[in-house]
Amino acid sequence: MSHLGNGALTISHKKIAQLRHLTRLHAHHRWFYLLPALCTSRHAASASSSGPPHGPASPSSASTRAPTATSFTCSVGSGSDASSYLTLMKSASSRVGTQVHAHAVKLGLDRDAYLRNAVMTSYAKAGPVGDARRIFDEMPEKRIPADWNSMISGYWKWGFGERARELFDTMPCRNVITWTAMVAGCAKTGDLDSARKYFDKMPRRNVVSWNAMLSGYAQNGLHDEALKLFDGMASSGFQPDDTTLVAVISSCAARGDASLAASLIERLGFNQGCPGSNFFVKTALLDMYAKCGSIAKARQIFDELRDGRSTVTWNAMISAYCKEGDLVSARELFDTMPLPERDVVSWNTMISGYAQNGQSALAIQLFRQMTASNVGVFLKPNEVTISSVLSACGHLGAMESGNWVVNFVNDNRIELGISGYNSLIFMYSRCGRMDDARRVFYKEMGTKDVVSYNTLITGLAAHGHGWEALQLLSEMKARGFKPNHVTYTGILTACSHAGLLREGREVFESIRDPMVDHYACMVDLLGRVGELERAELLIQKMPMEPHAGVYGSFLNACRIQRRVDLGETAARKLFELEPNHSGNYVLLSNLYASVGRWGDVHRVRELMREKGVKKATAWSCVEHKGRIHEFVMGDRYHERSDEIYEVLGKLETRMRRAGYMVDESCALRDVGEEEKEESVRVHSERLAICYALLVSEVGTVIQVVKNLRVCPDCHAAIKLISKLERRKIIVRDNNRFHHFVEGKCSCNDHW
């Protein structure tokens, strides 16, 4: 026997042949566990002491114990050969591989070309790559392409692209593997131009070469290029393998083009399904069908996978249902999903599905469930989760829930990027807290993008801060950000809500190619300042067909100015463009009612009945202790309904004494005076305010969210309530924010 120092494992000469048994174990990665069985003794630090011999590892322990790396330096006799070490090197980790290499050097086996390549490949893959290069440089001859290929691939893996290029340029003889390594390496770093140059220069290609280029395009978002390359691959006579299919199907999925997907399926011969395809191909197909709107086909593949489903397939199917607005099916699938498979993406998909489909309350509820301790293993929400739930809080105007989310983020040290901060600005803006929105934008955010500016500008516009929005536009330009169509829509809306005609016109004229939304904003601005004829002329001179938003803005301006003649023309256009939109009929009814033309009001209602158009139900809500309380007109279903109406009655008595009189035009019905008054007094926003007065502390801000436009009578009533109660009342309707303070509104009675 030979010994290699203290603590080294010693292998008997007689048992050296058993090392070849490791070859059969290599595929199952069990060589490590059976190595002690070949050892006869462990030598201690001194010759006078010795440890007990090591027995063989039991099968049970071999399957359950994790590797413990002490010293794996093996002492072998002259009967050994390089093949044993070659097997060890292919299986060894970086740490064990270094020890095996050291022992091979002592025996002089490192001169074997195959073992030398295995050692270099091990270092190139597992590191350190510098040791791989040292072995490469020490090679007396470098004629074997495999040596060069291992080194080049190692450089790409560890991020040394320039060194890979330098080595490639000095390589005397390149093969298809070398060229493919360069294509894959450049694609991995996002340098698709260089990848394509290497690909085009290849003297010979194989399927792997095509796949490297295809995958590079697909993974870097160049899906059109991937599909074009696939056409070239087919015309060159190469048969696609599973890797090819995954890349091209993924590119088609990213396009979301149903006709393109159908064409691809026909070319691939998958019209009758894909029974012979592997899991990854089926998953890619499921994702493609889902993103192209073929939910039934996606579900068919999902059902076929059964026990082979992964987190990816579950998430893809849930996402498909959410995208289609089928939240019931999405939630059923989410609840059925095994907990071990449910990851943060699963929760994010369902939460964002609720938020993006108008179910903000359910999005917040699900987020609370995600963060509760009773869901099993705690999954820490990420920025995507937080962005979705903050947006939900903003849409709902749920400031208490929003504050809870912010506290959760701080307590759990969740890092927010630009997207997260943008959602935070959105939430504060939509909840009426512009001071907090400004604080986040100016003091807490580091890096900003165009969306950051657009979000704050849109918030300022909704609150009527026209001058501040214009200043922010100037700051945005000064900092090198280029305004886009969303920016200008926000600025023009801000000018409209603030009545800044001259400034709005200057902004509009500065836009190189105004879009139809920009024209709609200008029509709204001209209408708000009473320039209806100029607004009508602007519509007539539009270079594109006006959409419903343009005529809707004009009709609302006619309502404010009580111009029935112009309003009727706009209404006719709206009925052509949106025959089933109830809001257009209501606007015309409001116009007729404002001038007392009750017969025409009745005629519009009859027209709605004939066409089967139903008026959208108006609702208003307030948040109290994290719970959303929703009311409709004349609501009697709230648990504290009697108390709410008692507060309403007392408040109305005080309002009448202060000179309040009902605006009967808001009743929209030609009925008796008492019936008109009764129908107006129980509008949803009044009930919501009375509930807030009942449960909130004296002097605190009351915030109400309404899904439709506030009627003129309620607007006048809330102004008076704010004065009588000495409370600031914020009402967010579907058009803007109204800040009622001491009998005045921030909109200056133009909404």
What is the tens place of the pLDDT at every residue in 37-96?
333 333 333 333 333 333 333 333 333 333 333 434 444 444 445 455 445 555 555 554
Length of the chain measured in residues: 751
pTM exceeds 0.85, yes or no: no
CB atoms under 10 Å from CB of 572, counted, come to 12
The owner of tokens 């955010």 is: 445
pLDDT at 123: 77
Judged against a pLDDT cut of 50, whether residue 14 lies above it is answered with no
| Highest-pLDDT range among 29-33, 92-96, 261-265, 273-277 | 261-265
Distances (CA, A) of 664 to 298, 514, 558, 617, 672: 55, 41, 19, 20, 10
| CA 703/CA 705 separation, integer angstroms | 7
| CA 354/CA 132 separation, integer angstroms | 52
The owner of tokens 């174990």 is: 25
Mean pLDDT of 568-586: 94
Q: And the tokens for 4?
A: 């290699």
Of 109-118, 644-653, 669-678, which range is least confident? Answer: 669-678
Mean pLDDT of 248-274: 71
Mean pLDDT of 369-381: 74
| CA 486/CA 706 separation, integer angstroms | 24
The amino acid that residue 750 corresponds to is H
Largest CA distance in the chain: 117
pLDDT tens across 22-44, in order?
Answer: 344 343 343 333 333 333 333 33
Where residue 673 falls among pLDDT bands split at 50, 70, 90?
Answer: very low
- CA 500, 506, 510: angle at the middle one, nearest 5? 140
Answer positive or negative: Cα dihedral of 471, 476, 480, 481. negative
Mean pLDDT of 737-745: 95
CB atoms under 10 Å from CB of 177, counted, come to 17
Where residue 436 falls among pLDDT bands split at 50, 70, 90?
Answer: very high
Provide the angle, in degrees to the nearest 10, between the axes of the packed helices 129-138 and 113-126: 160
Residue range 428-611 forms a domain whose CATH class is mainly alpha
CB atoms under 10 Å from CB of 564, counted, come to 18
Of 4-8, 343-347, 553-557, 654-658, which range is least confident? Answer: 4-8
**Cα atoms in the Cβ-side hemisphere of radius 13 Å centred on 176:** 10
Q: Which residues pair with 622 in a beta bridge?
A: 629
The amino acid that residue 171 corresponds to is M
Q: Which residues pair with 633 in a beta bridge?
A: none
Judged against a pLDDT cut of 80, whether residue 687 lies above it is answered with yes
Judged against a pLDDT cut of 60, whether residue 670 lies above it is answered with no
Of 88-97, 296-305, 488-497, 625-634, which range is least confident? Answer: 88-97
pLDDT tens across 137-187, in order?
Answer: 777 777 778 888 888 888 888 888 899 999 899 888 889 999 999 999 999
Mean pLDDT of 497-523: 96
Short-list 620, 634, 589, CA closest to 692: 620
Judged against a pLDDT cut of 80, whether residue 317 lies above it is answered with yes
Short-list 599, 570, 595, CA closest to 585: 570
Mean pLDDT of 192-199: 93
Q: Which residues pair with 42 in a beta bridge?
A: 9
Judged against a pLDDT cut of 60, whether residue 712 lies above it is answered with yes
| CA 135/CA 117 separation, integer angstroms | 9
- Domains of the chain: which residue ranges? 428-611, 619-745
Which letter does DSSP use for residue 307 in this model?
G
pLDDT at 88: 52
CA 342 to chain centre: 17
Short-list 704, 721, 702, CA closest to 660: 721
Judged against a pLDDT cut of 70, whether residue 457 lies above it is answered with yes
Where residue 101 falls among pLDDT bands split at 50, 70, 90?
Answer: low
pLDDT at 482: 95
Short-list 595, 521, 517, CA closest to 558: 595
Mean pLDDT of the chain: 82
Mean pLDDT of 557-580: 94
Contact predicate 620/688, CB 8 Å:
yes
pLDDT at 589: 92
- Bond before 128 cis per omega within 30 degrees: yes
pLDDT at 666: 61
CB atoms under 10 Å from CB of 252, counted, come to 28
Contact predicate 685/734, CB 8 Å:
no
As a 3-state breakdown, the chain gives helix, strand, coil percent values, each rounded to 5, of 65, 5, 30
Helix (H, G, I), strand (E, B) or coil at 628: strand
pLDDT at 248: 81
Q: Which residues pair with 50 in a beta bridge?
A: 43
Judged against a pLDDT cut of 60, whether residue 247 lies above it is answered with yes
The amino acid that residue 175 corresponds to is N
- SS3 of 1-63: the string is CCCCCCCCEEECCCCHHHHHHHHHHHCCCCHHHHHHHHEEEEECCCCCCECCCCCCCCHHHHH
| CA 164/CA 160 separation, integer angstroms | 6
Element (H, E) at 501: helix 501-510
Alpha helices in 581-640 (DSSP H): 582-594, 598-611
Mean pLDDT of 419-447: 96
pLDDT at 74: 43
Mean pLDDT of 10-22: 42
Element (H, E) at 730: strand 729-732
